[in-house]
């Protein structure tokens, strides 16, 4: 009997079937729920799996900070390095040569529109002029020769011409008088070598 009861109940259930429209709507809702669950789970797992560890973020921050610090301090440490090298140099010719290298470096890195760069270049050029003015034109035995001194003066005179041309092209007349004075000193020193030949 029980089987007959079950068969009757199942027959009733067969008759209560929902319409095809209703089943289609049920399918769409079910698929939407599945889609929502999948996308929510994927986005959560994506962010959990790919969040960078804190130490990597900290390392990148330090790297960026260090690069900015290096760019800003390089300009201020370079003169210090040259000052130490000049102080440690064995003779006056070497000191002059280092001071001249520093002036050339400042000149090559000079920004066309920055007035303070001109001041820095002129300061190092002034230092070079002081050192080069105290060189013995005939050289010092065992330290440097007259030929080395002459060559350095020729390079210095060329450098002064380039600097003066740059100052004129950038309309920096306030510095031109000082450079002209340095040029006159260099010319008079180079004239010494013409009389020695």
The domain ranges of the chain are: 56-196
Q: Which pLDDT belongs to residue 70?
A: 63
pLDDT category of residue 13 using cuts at 50, 70 and 90 = low
155 pLDDT tier (thresholds 50, 70, 90) = very high
Count of Cβ atoms closer than 10 Å to residue 11 Cβ? 9
Express as a percent the part of the chain with pLDDT over 90. 3
Kindly report the pTM of this predicted structure: 0.58
pLDDT at position 68? 67
Measured between alpha carbons, how far is 80 from 29 in angstroms, rounded to an integer?
75
Q: Which of 9-23, 75-89, 110-124, 173-187 has the highest mean pLDDT?
A: 173-187
| Confidence bin at 170 (pLDDT 50/70/90) | confident
Identify which has the larger pLDDT, 23 or 103.
Answer: 103
Q: Which pLDDT belongs to residue 52?
A: 66
Q: Does pLDDT of 107 surpass 60?
A: yes
């Amino acid at each position: 009997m029980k089987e007959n009861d079950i068969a009757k109940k199942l027959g009733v259930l067969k008759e209560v079937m929902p319409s095809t429209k209703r089943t289609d709507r049920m399918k769409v809702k079910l698929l939407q729920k599945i889609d929502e669950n999948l996308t929510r789970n994927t986005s959560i797992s994506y962010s959990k799996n790919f969040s960078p560890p804190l130490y990597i973020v900290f390392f990148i921050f330090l790297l960026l900070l260090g690069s900015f610090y290096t760019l800003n301090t390089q300009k201020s440490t370079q003169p210090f390095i040259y000052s130490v090298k000049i102080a440690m140099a064995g003779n006056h010719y070497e000191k002059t040569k280092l001071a001249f290298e520093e002036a050339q470096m400042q000149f090559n890195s000079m920004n066309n529109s920055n007035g303070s760069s001109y001041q820095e270049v002129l300061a190092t050029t002034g230092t070079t002029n002081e050192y080069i003015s105290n060189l013995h034109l005939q050289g010092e035995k065992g330290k440097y020769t007259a030929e080395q001194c002459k060559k350095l003066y020729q390079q210095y005179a060329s450098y002064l011409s380039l600097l003066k041309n740059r100052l004129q092209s950038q309309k920096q007349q306030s510095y031109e008088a000082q450079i002209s004075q340095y040029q006159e000193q260099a010319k008079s020193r180079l004239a010494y070598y013409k009389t020695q030949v």
